[in-house]
Structure 1
Amino acid sequence: MSLVSHATSERRGENHWLLRFELHLPYAYEALWHALTTPDGLRGWLAAADVLERHLGGAVTLRWLNTATVATGHVTAWDVERVAEYTLSGQGRIRFHLEAVGTDSTVLRFLNERGGTEEDRLDCLAGWHEHFELLEAALAGRPADWSSWTDTRRARLRESYGSFGSARKAS
């Protein structure tokens, strides 16, 4: 069973959203930090980091291997082993906040502040949900095989968010 549950979202003005996920993962924060902040780690579940300058103000270029989307931007928050935030063209602000729970468990709080229509919101919720399932698999030693990726899971998730979303969305 997946450790990823449905996200919440709230409207932040016309065509502007804040998406939130909170995951409780049975992995030490060091493993998550690596997965969220290194080219090798990111490739296993999210995107190829063609450029990743790991410091505040550093340049970032991520290339999604499942959709060929390329986003450039900067590191807009960096607190080693605790917070990594990237602000990217077309993706908005994505923030990962880690909180260790004991020595072998971590809470990951994720925010994505972005523009877009209601349809974009549903697409992004489904996309992040799927990527967090891929993160869970990568942490378990099964990184994504991008050559065999299909959009079947994402389509099911989008449908679920479409029917589930109105109850979880704050106006």
Structure 2
Amino acid sequence: MNDMAVRNDYGTLSDPTTLMIRRVLPGPIERIWSYLTDSELRAKWLASGDMRLAAGESFELTWRNDRLADGPATPRPEGFGEEHSMKSRIVEVEPPRRLVFTWGEQAEVTFTLIEKGSEVILTVTHRRVADRAVLLMVSAGWHAHLDVLAAVVAGKPRPDFWARWAHLKTEYETLLPA
């Protein structure tokens, strides 16, 4: 049994271009929903950007990953800027359980939330990943961003995003099929 099968915090492929990754987070569901949809809260773990929660509405996400660590931050890897923005569009919204939006021109991301007692199971599904290089980047990226979210909602210090991302990218190179 490989490490990916044992550790449920790693993403898995449901097909060669679709990554699924889950986290169990402290609820209630409305709180986790707000971390997905409110720009100020989302900026603490992923990217800022105001969203009008209606199908067809456009929005822009802006990443500033250097700001995600509570302690000293590792310098960003070569090739990454201090800020990155991407235009997206809401495809589907069912508060507080499901949010689907485009990821750039071709890909799509779905957030699904399920209440389980006092916890929330958050599933992120990233569809239509262009190629293996992008798959490795988004696998490590979602994993590291969700680690930051888990820390934020648990009231713990946020981990060093770039150090975590670099480590995870190496792990995903081994874990995901070539």
Normalised-by-shorter TM-score class:
0.7 to 0.9
Aligned equivalents of 1:155, 1:91: Cα separation in 2: 25
Aligned equivalents of 2:165, 2:54: Cα separation in 1: 32
> Residues 4 and 133 of structure 1 are in contact (CA less than 8 Å); yes or no, is this contact kept in structure 2?
no
The gaps in structure 1 that reach 5 residues or longer are none
Aligned equivalents of 1:88, 1:46: Cα separation in 2: 14
Higher mean alpha-carbon deviation, 28-37 vs 59-68, is at 59-68
- Which residue matches 2:170? 159
* Cα deviation, residue 137, structure 1: 1.3
Sequence identity percentage = 24
Higher mean alpha-carbon deviation, 111-120 vs 74-83, is at 111-120
- Which residue matches 1:71? 86
* Cα deviation, residue 150, structure 1: 5.6
The gaps in structure 2 that reach 5 residues or longer are 1-6, 66-80
Aligned to 2:138, which of 103, 109, 124? 124
Give the RMSD, CA atoms, in angstroms: 2.3
- Which residue matches 2:12? 8
Provide TM-score, normalisation by structure 2: 0.78
| 4+ residue segments displaced more than 4 Å | 142-145
Provide TM-score, normalisation by structure 1: 0.81
Question: How many matched pairs?
Answer: 156
Higher fraction of strand: 1
| 3-state SS of 2:128 partner | strand
> Residues 145 and 161 of structure 2 are in contact (CA less than 8 Å); yes or no, is this contact kept in structure 1?
no
Residue type at the aligned position of 1:157: L
> Residues 60 and 86 of structure 1 are in contact (CA less than 8 Å); yes or no, is this contact kept in structure 2?
no
Instruction: Go from structure 1 to structure 2 and tell me whether the alpha carbon gap of 1:90 and 1:151 turns closer, same or farther (over 3 Å shift).
Output: farther
> Residues 25 and 153 of structure 2 are in contact (CA less than 8 Å); yes or no, is this contact kept in structure 1?
no
